[in-house]
Amino acid sequence: MSKKITKICCIGAGYVGGPTMAVIAQKCPDVKVTVVDINEKRIAAWNDEDLGKLPVYEPGLDKVVEEARGRNLFFSTEVDKAIDEAEMIFISVNTPTKTYGKGKGMAADLKFIELCARQIARVAKDDKIVVEKSTLPVRTAQALKSILHNTGSSPAGKEGGVQFDILSNPEFLAEGTAVEDLHAPDRVLIGGDNPEAIQALVDVYAHWVPAANILTTNVWSSELSKLTANAFLAQRVSSINALSELCEKTGADVNEVARAIGTDSRIGPKFLKASVGFGGSCFQKDILNLVYIAKSYGLHEVADYWEQVILMNDHQKRRFADNIVTTLYNTVSGKKIAFLGWAFKKDTNDTRESAAIHVADYLLNEQAEIVVYDPKVTEEQIYADLDYLNTRDEKENRKLVTVVNDPYKATDEAHAIAVLTEWDEFRAYDWQRIYDLMLKPSFVFDGRAVLDREKLKNFGFEIYIIGVGSCG
Ligand SMILES: NC(=O)c1ccc[n+]([C@@H]2O[C@H](COP(=O)([O-])OP(=O)(O)OC[C@H]3O[C@@H](n4cnc5c(N)ncnc54)[C@H](O)[C@@H]3O)[C@@H](O)[C@H]2O)c1
Ligand SMILES: O=c1ccn([C@@H]2O[C@H](COP(=O)(O)OP(=O)(O)O[C@H]3O[C@H](CO)[C@@H](O)[C@H](O)[C@H]3O)[C@@H](O)[C@H]2O)c(=O)[nH]1
């Protein structure tokens, strides 16, 4: 018989912790779910009466939070209290790429994970199931076990010591479709070595996920499967992007090629959309981590194979920006370029590793003036993204980049438009009006292949579409 879980705590109220726990609380009204974070502003936003102010924008999330918050879903900064109360603790903190020391630029930085483990060990007075929800390098559970079992007020080895079971339960949700993905996951993956602990977590998900979709494995397979899934997905994007360049040279259309190969049931149609490059907080970080792990085992060919996915992505962002400069008569100095979109994909306000940031940086180095419009990303975030690169000082970024809340303002007197995110609304704009507002010739560089080429050409635009080409 597995233990029935009645109280869950989740450390980390970010893009994963917030939506994941909101859905667990929605589907398991008999379980009290407390999501804790050290970021007071974030917790305050999760508790905001105005559901439009939740810190994570995801379609449908407001409804889920409205249903469960205050009933059995709580957001709090009282981390110790929530750990103490809970039988099951999810760790859903950030695991960014290391920016210092050994493994800099490649390995995952596990300092936040370790801090959580030490805090759990210090606070726990009774047995706990600790669940790795963050994406972690394979064999992290070993490190967690060692910290949990050797520190704290009643170490596990000692008489009366607290027992910790560690499970790996990676999250596969994609941003923009988080609620949909959580409601009907392709699979839930649970890795562990104690069948009772595994069953306790299976029982939580079984409230709404069919048994056939809940996979259980050993803990190492589970940890490695998460990195592998992201590597495979990103590889598909880099593969189609590599071919997008060949399409542009040969007169083929990458969208037609994608359709033609995607109808082969062995290949499948998903993740074959050519773009200005993949972004998001996960793909690059997780592949770099995989490369680092392979290298650390001396598997250099394996490491090189996966690293190529990142190199191709960097190339795609660079060549998109470079094409803008070349087309605008080899200089964008003092020219106004309107950016439509800043988020790394549509239907999210997340900008981490967005291709837009890198394209902007390239063009700013060429002294372009950029005006950004994104339906969900704030001005504060856009400047923070550029400042983080440290390419130029903050004053310069604010001088060269303007953020507006109206697409027509962004395109007014622009030399060119660059489409960096595939927001649906871009298609529905009054493109005749935009054409009239812009300087002539009016260039459009569509990095997401969302616009209607023939329609825009008829208005008079000079148009380039990724994987299709044109524009001189
Ligand atoms: N974003 C995604 O779509 C996604 C999907 C699947 C998996 N993941 C993985 O999930 C993990 C979390 O990602 P995220 O996007 O939610 O990150 P995030 O940065 O949005 O959220 C992490 C939160 O953890 C908090 N935190 C850090 N240390 C803490 C501590 N000691 N105590 C309390 N709170 C602490 C931070 O303040 C932050 O709010 C990462 O490992 C990521 O790779 C992310
Ligand atoms: O055909 C495609 C598909 C995606 N992308 C781009 O790839 C990036 C990532 O997209 P997506 O995977 O949809 O979003 P994420 O939220 O980053 O989700 C990925 O990363 C998460 C974090 O690990 C995983 O949980 C998800 O399963 C995995 O899809 C975005 O910039 C997309 O625009 C393309 O360019 N072409």
The tens digit of pLDDT for each residue in 337-382 reads 999 999 999 999 999 999 999 999 999 999 999 999 999 999 999 9
pLDDT at residue 433, rounded to an integer: 98
Tell me the angle at which helices 283-296 and 219-250 cross, rounded to the nearest 10 degrees: 120
Q: Is 0.90 exceeded by the ipTM?
A: yes
d(CA 353, CA 314): 11
d(CA 355, CA 174): 17
The yes-or-no verdict on residue 156 having pLDDT over 90 is no
266 among annotated binding-site residues: yes
| pLDDT band with cut points at 50, 70 and 90 for residue 171 | very high
For the chain, the residue count is 472
Pocket mutation for ligand 2, best pick of 344, 348, 358, 359 (most atoms within 8 Å of C-beta)? 344
d(CA 91, CA 119): 11
Residues of the chain with CATH 3.40.50.720: 7-217, 310-470
352 among annotated binding-site residues: yes
CATH architecture of 310-470: 3-Layer(aba) Sandwich (3.40)
Closest CA to 143 of 180, 111, 104: 111
Residue nearest atom 26 in ligand 2 by C-alpha distance:
174
The yes-or-no verdict on residue 155 having pLDDT over 60 is no
Backbone torsion region of residue 303, taken as left when φ is above 0, otherwise alpha when ψ lies between -120 and 50, otherwise beta = alpha
Ligand 2 atom nearest to 354, measured from its CA: 31
Lookup result for tokens 């104690």 = 194
pLDDT at residue 139, rounded to an integer: 86
165 among annotated binding-site residues: no
Q: Which pLDDT tens digit goes with each residue over 314-331?
A: 999 999 999 999 999 999
Phi/psi of residue 230, each to 5°? -65, -35
pLDDT at residue 151, rounded to an integer: 80
The yes-or-no verdict on residue 3 having pLDDT over 60 is yes
171 lines ligand 1 (CB under 6 A): yes
pLDDT at residue 153, rounded to an integer: 61
Residue nearest atom 33 in ligand 1 by C-alpha distance:
37
92 lines ligand 1 (CB under 6 A): yes
pLDDT at residue 414, rounded to an integer: 98
Instruction: Give distance in angstroms: CA of 281 to centre of ligand 1.
Output: 10
Report, as an integer, the average pLDDT of 185-205.
97
Can you point out the beta strands (E) in 147-292?
A: 164-168, 188-191, 214-217
pLDDT at residue 157, rounded to an integer: 53
Report, as an integer, the average pLDDT of 424-436.
97
Ligand 1 atom nearest to 350, measured from its CA: 1
Superfamily for 7-217? NAD(P)-binding Rossmann-like Domain (3.40.50.720)
279 lines ligand 2 (CB under 6 A): yes
Helices (H) and strands (E) in the chain, counts: 18, 14
d(CA 183, CA 179): 6
173 lines ligand 1 (CB under 6 A): yes
pLDDT at residue 161, rounded to an integer: 80
d(CA 193, CA 164): 12
pLDDT at residue 133, rounded to an integer: 97
Is residue 282 annotated as a catalytic residue, yes or no? Answer: yes
How deeply is 319 buried, as exposed, middle or buried, from its count of CB atoms within 10 A (0-12, 13-18, 19+)? middle
pLDDT at residue 150, rounded to an integer: 86
